[in-house]
Structure 1
């Protein structure tokens, strides 16, 4: 349904007011909340986890592989940056294209396309005869990565029972960390040829494709497409036998109708003055997630360390420690985020990340980067990874599903993803050049400054969303009350 919204200039507009049902969406009136987990829902979560693992693995494997690729192709830092960044260029395209493809052709068809491209891209990259072909193949892989991050969590959320939705969607986030850790372990062995390491992603890609062939499309998308009977059949396939899916289907109908009749919707809706504060916070958060420096460490830590006197073996072992830290602190962060709060956790951890980068920079600028200081350098790198992975890194994907009004949520999430991938691309294309120009230590200081700027931005603009329903967040936004102080009364 629609409700009048008054802009600050006195204009009256119509906007979507998200329904506030007396029970959670998808809940059965008898209180069983859509039923328990079924085998089909577990397979849906597994598909999402595989796509997250492929994201982590395909972006992380290049870290150790670059040492071999540089030797085989005889390339310098310019090509290294292009090879590392090419997957990110594809991810920007994939996030935007798959957002629209998901709306027009459905979540299932989009994920089938993504899985197929994962297979093709992995094979092409592993067989690349030169750096140009490898870069182009990684652009293809990046399209799949961007498409997966845009579509898989939505697909799970729209098929999972309400009571399990949050936990199943988090499989995607956790799987990213698992993928990064596996990639660093493979690289650290130094016995796995880079072509085999990159080509190994074909196996989970093919598994994802095979599993997707057995799954239904999203009931929500089917209702939007006017295929109500197909939506009923899809729900019945993923709910326990004998469950009455009519109440859940009815609520989907209500939400879809409200979205359909809203004037403030889609990409155009993001330009509305009352929606803009959410877009600024969401895209700003995505940008500072990358400017934190984590991609500098994930992609280039072996290269940075070997260029500064570390052996290949030592540098690769450090990468494994960083990958393990990433995964462990992500799990800790996910476990405590609802108790600590999104805003509070981010603001607590950002200063720690900045301080770690300042200390790292000081080691290199003052020349204290010899053998005696190696344990301290490694400890500081791990501390940086812990503060970043357990803090701001959790927010980049999470907020995209929370801060935007219902009718602009998919467009907002796509814009936020594109901001994240675009910033990542810029960093990866320029990092080694910056290091060559101003020095390793000074580059660490530069990224420490980005963390400080991120703290200031988020302190001033990011409200505490923890404990707020999506309807409450949208209501605050519609009233022009989207500053931190406007949410302070809740906690």
Structure 2
């Protein structure tokens, strides 16, 4: 069976197989060119919301240098300002799945963009620490909703051949947002204007809002709400050459067979294994420490002997520029090489980076010269490894791992787990750095990365080229691919293969 961008399924013509390209890059570009313009616009615009998320991750890192001076923040207060937004993200992720089904994928994204712009301005106007904490909590709430809704929206709007790439595009946008945030902080560092650093976050939010207002919701959601004519118009626009009536009939049948969609179903067979996988993956993505590097990289570089705003703000931007290259490589390979090799390769790089950082901090007494350079390269490799693997694949697995009735709730569970781990890291990293030192802190992250590698190796399915219906049958078959499924001709094999 073949998954259409409507979320329905139909059998392909067995006489017309799609040949595999020998050149992944060229095939990837060809797939993009063959995708209808509206399909790319829908997926691309949704993914661009990642710019908002990325900007917030990094601009607080720069702004915190100057907020600390103005409000005389202690270490624990700095952690609280950073963690407030993450606590809000957890609440948003919990609500995101329900809101996506109740209000629609598009309505949620419009609300996210508009609310984020308003709360960014509120952060900039904060007169004291409590007001800043409330504003950042509300910012986090909107971000938490977005990280649940966007993967669902893209998964239901994109054709299988570019679905993985468009899901990874969210991470591309996130990294771009991180870079912009660091650069904005550097440009404004001379004036120490942290209010403008935070307020500028409203600009990308308003830009995304303007484009998102013009997009349709997914045909799948329209059908779930009984809005057949809206679904028909959306399908006709995204797939002008498709048999719309046949796709709507298939979709209607699939939805009627997929009644339910509650949390109880996720916690019992056959989807319990899928739930364990996505919740565990979400937790390992953050507990391995990436946002400690993003939020506090100026402090990490300061501990390595770097000084001055240029070093403390431009070096993190340089690290993220390298990460952007890595995520583009991941984007071009995810639908060709596969999910598992990319994910395991990225985690492997993080493990090596942690070993380097532990060694640097163990040897380092007075940082400088080659030792400082090696420390910088360790942070660089850590970030590149994360972005190439965990960072890119979280959005793919969040959008692929559950059938339609559970997809938004599954994404919500995964991202909630992710954000809970993020709260832990954001709340305790500076304290760990002070009490355990750099060597002890990165030794902890290294051990967690090893545990994450083992978890992924044993439980992550290879979903490259599989339609969403096949992935559903994988979990229903006890985390094994049924024999002769779809067009892939895969034989029964265990989940780790």
TM-score category by the smaller chain?
0.7 to 0.9
TM-score by length of 2: 0.85
1:487 aligns with 2:484: no
**SS of the residue 1:273 aligns to:** coil
Match of 2:263 in 1: 267
Partner deviation per Cα, 1:125-160 (whole Å, 9 max, x = no partner)? 111122222121111111111111211332344345
2:83 aligned to which of 71, 82, 85: 85
- When residues 208 and 296 of structure 1 are mapped into structure 2, their CA distance, relative to the original with a 3 A threshold, is same
State yes or no: 1:315 paired with 2:288: no
Alignment of 1:471-486 (within 5 A): 471-482=469-480
Contact 2:278-2:401 at 8 Å conserved across structures: yes
Q: Which residue pairs with 2:435 in the alignment?
A: 437
Give the superposition deviation at 1:83: 1.2
Q: Deviations over 1:417-463 (max 9, x none)?
A: 10001111111011111112222221011111111111222223333
SS in structure 2 opposite 1:338?
coil
Q: Where do 5+ consecutive residues of structure 1 fail to align?
A: 1-17, 25-32
Paired position in structure 2 for 1:3 = none
Q: 1:221 — aligned with what?
A: 221
Q: Distance in 1 between matches of 2:333 and 2:216?
A: 34
Residues 40 and 407 (structure 1), Cα distance of their counterparts in 2 relative to 1, 3 Å cut: closer
- Counterpart CA distance in 1 for 2:236 and 2:414 is 33
CA shift, 1:182, in A, is 1.1
User: Mind listing any 5+ residue stretches in structure 2 that lack a counterpart?
Assistant: 1-6, 14-30, 482-490
For 2:467 and 2:106, how far apart are their aligned partners in 1? 28
Equivalent-residue separation in structure 1 for 2:268 and 2:418 (angstroms): 22
In structure 1, the residue matched to 2:399 is 401
Which residue number corresponds to residue 338 of structure 1? 335
* 1:107–1:347 CA distance, 2 compared to 1 (3 A): closer
d(CA) in 2 for partners of 1:217, 1:112: 11
Cα distance, 1:367–1:161 mapped onto 2, change above 3 Å? closer
Alignment correspondent of 1:245: 244
Q: CA RMSD in A?
A: 2.8
Partner of 1:8: none
Deviation at 1:216, TM superposition (A): 2.7
Q: Is the 8 A contact 1:362 1:441 kept in 2?
A: yes
Supply the distance in 1 between the matched residues of 2:343 and 2:351 (Cα, whole angstroms): 12
Matched, 1:70 2:68: yes
Report matched runs for 1:166-181 at 5 Å: 166-181=164-179
Residue 131 of structure 1 is matched in structure 2 by 129
Q: Hey, what does 1:359 align to over in structure 2?
A: 356
Shift of 1:384: 1.6
Change (3 A) 1:288 1:231: same
Q: 2-side partners of 1:384 and 1:145: how far apart?
A: 24
In the alignment, is residue 256 of structure 1 matched against residue 255 of structure 2?
A: yes
Q: 2:286 aligns with which of 287, 290, 296?
A: 290
Once the two structures are TM-superposed, the CA of residue 482 in structure 1 deviates from its matched residue by 4.5
Task: Name the TM-score, length of structure 1 as normaliser.
Answer: 0.86
Judged with a 3 Å threshold, the aligned counterparts in structure 2 of structure 1 residues 410 and 141 are, in CA distance, closer, same or farther, namely same
Question: What residue number does 2:324 align with?
Answer: 327
Contact 2:55 2:174 in 1 (8 A): yes
Indicate conservation of the 8 Å contact 2:151/2:398, yes or no: no
Kindly state the Cα deviation for residue 175 of structure 1 after the two structures are TM-superposed. Answer: 0.7
How far apart in 2 are the matches of 1:243 and 1:409? Answer: 24
